[in-house]
Structure 1
Amino acid sequence: MNSDSESFHHQLLSWVLADTATTFESSSVDRQEIDGVDNPLKQATTSTSGELESGVKPQTFQLGEIPTVQERFQAVLKRRLQLQIQNQPPLFPWETQLLDYPDYADEQSLVLVPAWGWVAQQSKLNLPIALPESIFRQLLEKCQVLLTSSLPLGAKLVQVVEDLFPNEGQALNDIAGLVLRSNVRSPETLETMPDLQSDYANLKQRQQMALSLIAAKQLLDNLTIPVSLANPVVEREWLTSAGVLQLKVEYQSQGQTGKLRVAGKLPTQGVFTLKGQGTRAVGQSANSGNLSVELHCQQFNQTYTLEVDFPEIEQQPLVFLITPTT
């Protein structure tokens, strides 16, 4: 038998050994006549004993017949595998039995975790590189805590970002001083940045410090609303995951006292809570639209806080600091 024939039979033997003998022998497909030879595999496996008993030389294939047999064998094997897959479909690694899955997900079964509602405001800041959402959220949370503190602005900035850069107090103080003394909008003015399209994680530590301090300063500026008799109307916008929150703060003098009024346009249902020293006013809207609250100011130069609560997008309210002056 030539080498091609031996190689082909070796392939047949390997396939047979990979399968179970009983399955192969019981297949009706295997018992069909292939190119005029009735079950050549069976003849091949019994050729040794048959030759000894009958003295008949076992049948072999000519070289030109090998490709034809290979093609027929591959077709038989393909049909056999298709039948096995149809009768016993394969399972996913996590399955122990065949399961039917719906063509679409039931909307009532979906549990969506919304993004923190207030972080969309980052897109409105003048930053050369976007901060990771987790870092921006941490900065915003610290700004909320320190917003009403009497600390100087430079000290506030350092405290807002110091948790991101432990044991770097002196470097933070130095860069915070540069941020306050200039109109810097990007770390590029502090140190040449290799690539303004780089991710935050790829920046040098001093660049990360500068970017974080700049973001903290802009957040504190956005959250602080100074009004005065000379500048009695100030407007603010804050982008949320539900849309834009528009605020209009008015300060009016009424003799020895004043009146503070906050009017807003809400993108969703919400609550305004305006607080002063011993005073409080609450307004609520069941849907998007206009909402206003007002307080009478008993004395000048007193600070007030405005809490904006949007229950549908965030459990924590957003706090603004209002600072009326004469």
Structure 2
Amino acid sequence: MQERFQAVLKRRLQVEIQNHPPLFPWESQLVDYPEFVEESSIALVPAWGWLAQQSKLNLPIPLPDKIFQQLMDKCQLLLTSSLPLGPKLVQAVESFFPEDYQLINDLAGMVLRTSYRSVDALETIPNIQRDYSDLQPRQQMALSLMAAKQLLENLTLPISFANPVIEQQWQTNAGTLIIRVELQSLGKLMKLRVHSELPTPGVLKLEGNGTQAVSSSTVANKASVELDCQPTNQTYTLEVECPELEQQPLLLAINLTM
């Protein structure tokens, strides 16, 4: 008798649910939802295009993506500054630790004097298999300073007649960006030439000494630009724009010394 009663009750509940389906808390009426969502309708936030370069830095543990991006933005702003490297490192990271200016200064000096992985301030950092948030503030400062030093080096291309050709690679989320800079003497004329292999279609903009040259990639995503230059110490800037990869261009400094 009890089993029959439960069967009847179950059928009545099923009929009631079919006739009057229950609503979710956020619904005021019955809504038909699609069985699947087409990919094109999903709004994905693309990864920051230049982020992959962090994998090429010699760091004990990686920085969080957001901090690495902010640090790189600051380093690009400092590229053309006449400040020595030490003060540049301090300015690159000081906003992350606004209450510890003197300690940052001390650690910056240590980073400049020692190899990347032997900074005493990191203490046990090579043995930590966790992440940035697990570090002590002093360790976070030292790690950020180490990253800033390497970023400034990666973003700076020194060239001279003693070293007239230099090549730099930058890892991106779409592949490797290759930049090759050449200093050429053509009689009384000097030219600075930049050749590139871009991971996606893009534009090069070379600027300095009051002039600029712009070139878009053509075959195989290659682009080249050149400028006449003077036999004086001069800093040129090179912007690499790859809109399919990242809206913000990559800025590099070419330091010409005689």
Q: TM-score w.r.t. structure 1 length?
A: 0.74
Cα root mean square deviation, aligned: 2.0
Give the counterpart of 1:169 among 92, 101, 108.
101
Distance 1:309 1:186, change over 3 A: farther
For residues 33 and 209 of structure 2, what CA distance do their matches in structure 1 show?
60
Q: For residue 158 of structure 2, what is the aligned residue in structure 1?
A: 226
Q: Give structure 1 stretches of 5+ with no counterpart.
A: 1-68
Larger radius of gyration: 1
Q: Give the number of the structure whose residues are more often strand, by fraction.
A: 2
Q: Give structure 2 stretches of 5+ with no counterpart.
A: none
Which letter does structure 2 place at the counterpart of 1:116?
W
Instruction: Answer yes or no: is the 8 Å Cα contact 1:257–1:299 preserved in 2.
Output: no
Tell me which stretches of 4 or more aligned residues in structure 1 moved more than 6 Å. Answer: none
Q: For residue 274 of structure 1, what is the aligned residue in structure 2?
A: 206
Q: Percent identity?
A: 64
Instruction: Answer yes or no: is the 8 Å Cα contact 2:121–2:138 preserved in 1.
Output: no
Q: For residue 248 of structure 1, what is the aligned residue in structure 2?
A: 180
For residues 186 and 139 of structure 1, what CA distance do their matches in structure 2 show?
21
Instruction: Answer yes or no: is the 8 Å Cα contact 2:203–2:241 preserved in 1.
Output: yes
For residues 254 and 175 of structure 1, what CA distance do their matches in structure 2 show?
46
Q: How many residues align?
A: 258
Q: For residue 289 of structure 1, what is the aligned residue in structure 2?
A: 221
Distance 1:243 1:293, change over 3 A: same
For residues 131 and 193 of structure 1, what CA distance do their matches in structure 2 show?
13
Q: For residue 243 of structure 2, what is the aligned residue in structure 1?
A: 311
For residues 157 and 224 of structure 2, what CA distance do their matches in structure 1 show?
16
Give the counterpart of 2:234 among 296, 302, 310.
302
Q: Deviations over 1:15-59 (max 9, x none)?
A: xxxxxxxxxxxxxxxxxxxxxxxxxxxxxxxxxxxxxxxxxxxxx
Give the counterpart of 1:207 among 117, 139, 159.
139
Q: For residue 118 of structure 1, what is the aligned residue in structure 2?
A: 50
Which letter does structure 1 place at the counterpart of 2:34?
P
Q: Note the C-alpha offset of 1:196.
A: 1.8
The question of 1:263 aligning with 2:175 is answered no
Q: Note the C-alpha offset of 1:199.
A: 1.5
For residues 206 and 256 of structure 1, what CA distance do their matches in structure 2 show?
53
